[in-house]
Chain A
């Protein structure tokens, strides 16, 4: 019986490329956010509203990840910022290598801030480091206040939680205080913003915080 000892992380290759991305972002002085959430919680809308507020002061590019279509890239391109669409053709998450290729397509455009919109999925993207500075998890009130407990990996690794679609709170069975309690129970360091991309509630506060963190 012969045994070959390996003892390596299965996602080691992804981690290596993620670290290369991180080095490359650092060298070019680009702050990178990885937006993660379930489908339909408002990632693209939040990116659009944030661009609206800060794009005149900060040079931003966006990498969009979707299973199919370039619908999101078209939406974001209207804001006049460089955007690259990654179509994963079925894969449920972005990987560091895909982000590396997409970043190369930006051709050394002079930017200070890069938004990466991950594939809508509250499970799989949690395991894949992309080389970002921070993960921003978005949860809409229509999804319910128990989600941080059901998907702890995503909340545990995030720096920011954005509770979106708060204008719908009168119509849904979701308690904001319970949601915050559940999220902080998983990750006490989470910075929480409560927003609506319809009423614009919370968007100025989030944008201001973002600006102060990257400049």
Chain B
């Protein structure tokens, strides 16, 4: 259940980026969640909504984009998408692989209400 810590980190980063001079009103916060990041989107959303209640961010929407797990094999040159993590290439069995995507846990952008 570290989704609460993640929600708090998101809120703290967002606050650092908000313009100080006017009362910026946040409409949407967009984040990327890789398949390997061990985050349950429903749980993160619950923690996020609970954490912004009664704050200046109340009403902000958390938009989560799931990033699939993809690997590249230097053995056969194939790039493949995996359902479950494996350190071997599904095509040729080589363990000379590199994770291309799936590790993401990134805050992309904030959209403000004008």
* Contact call A4/B105, Cβ cutoff below 8 A: no
* Contact call B86/A6, Cβ cutoff below 8 A: no
A3: Cβ under 8 A from any B Cβ: yes
* Residues of A108-158 contacting chain B, CB below 8 A: 123-124, 126-128, 149, 152-153, 156
Tell me which residues across on chain B come within 8 A of A93, comparing CB atoms.
2, 5
Number of interface residues of B (CB under 8 A): 30
B85: Cβ under 8 A from any A Cβ: yes
Interface residues on A, range: 20 to 34
B87: Cβ under 8 A from any A Cβ: yes
Known interface pairs A3-B110, A9-B105. Does A127 touch B2 (Cβ–Cβ under 8 Å)? Answer: yes
Instruction: Report the tally of A-B residue pairs with Cβ distances under 8 A.
Output: 89
* Contact call B105/A8, Cβ cutoff below 8 A: no
Interface of A is mostly: mixed
A92→B5 CA distance, assembly (Å): 10
A1: Cβ under 8 A from any B Cβ: yes
A215: Cβ under 8 A from any B Cβ: no
* Contact call A6/B109, Cβ cutoff below 8 A: yes
A9→B106 CA distance, assembly (Å): 4
B10: Cβ under 8 A from any A Cβ: yes
Known interface pairs A3-B111, A7-B107, A95-B5. Does A127 touch B84 (Cβ–Cβ under 8 Å)? Answer: no
Interface of B is mostly: mixed
* Contact call B17/A4, Cβ cutoff below 8 A: yes
* Contact call A7/B106, Cβ cutoff below 8 A: yes
Distance in Å from the Cβ of B70 to the closest Cβ of chain A? 15
A71: Cβ under 8 A from any B Cβ: no
Q: Name B36's contact: one of A124, A149, A153, A185 (CB within 8 Å).
A: A153
Chain A 150-173, CB-CB to B under 8 Å as 1, else 0, gives 001100100000000000000000
Tell me which residues across on chain B come within 8 A of A7, comparing CB atoms.
106-109
* Contact call B2/A4, Cβ cutoff below 8 A: no
A11→B2 CA distance, assembly (Å): 12
Q: Which residue of B lies closest to A186 (CB)?
A: B87
A188: Cβ under 8 A from any B Cβ: yes
A213: Cβ under 8 A from any B Cβ: no
* Contact call B85/A8, Cβ cutoff below 8 A: no
Q: Which residue of A lies closest to B28 (CB)?
A: A3
Q: Which of A3, A6, A92, A126 has the most CB of B within 10 A?
A: A6
Q: Which residue of A lies closest to B99 (CB)?
A: A156
* Contact call A4/B87, Cβ cutoff below 8 A: no
* Residues of B1-43 contacting chain A, CB below 8 A: 1-2, 5-6, 9-10, 12-14, 17-18, 31, 36-38
* Contact call A10/B88, Cβ cutoff below 8 A: no
Give 14 A-B contacts (CB < 8 Å), ordered by A residue: A2-B112, A2-B114, A3-B110, A6-B108, A6-B110, A9-B105, A10-B6, A10-B105, A11-B9, A93-B2, A126-B38, A127-B37, A156-B36, A156-B85
10 cross-chain pairs, A with B, having the tightest CB-CB distances, nearest first: A124-B2, A152-B85, A4-B110, A6-B107, A2-B112, A10-B105, A188-B95, A5-B109, A10-B9, A4-B17
Question: Which residues of B are in contact with A by a Cβ distance under 8 Å?
Answer: 1-2, 5-6, 9-10, 12-14, 17-18, 31, 36-38, 84-88, 95, 105-112, 114
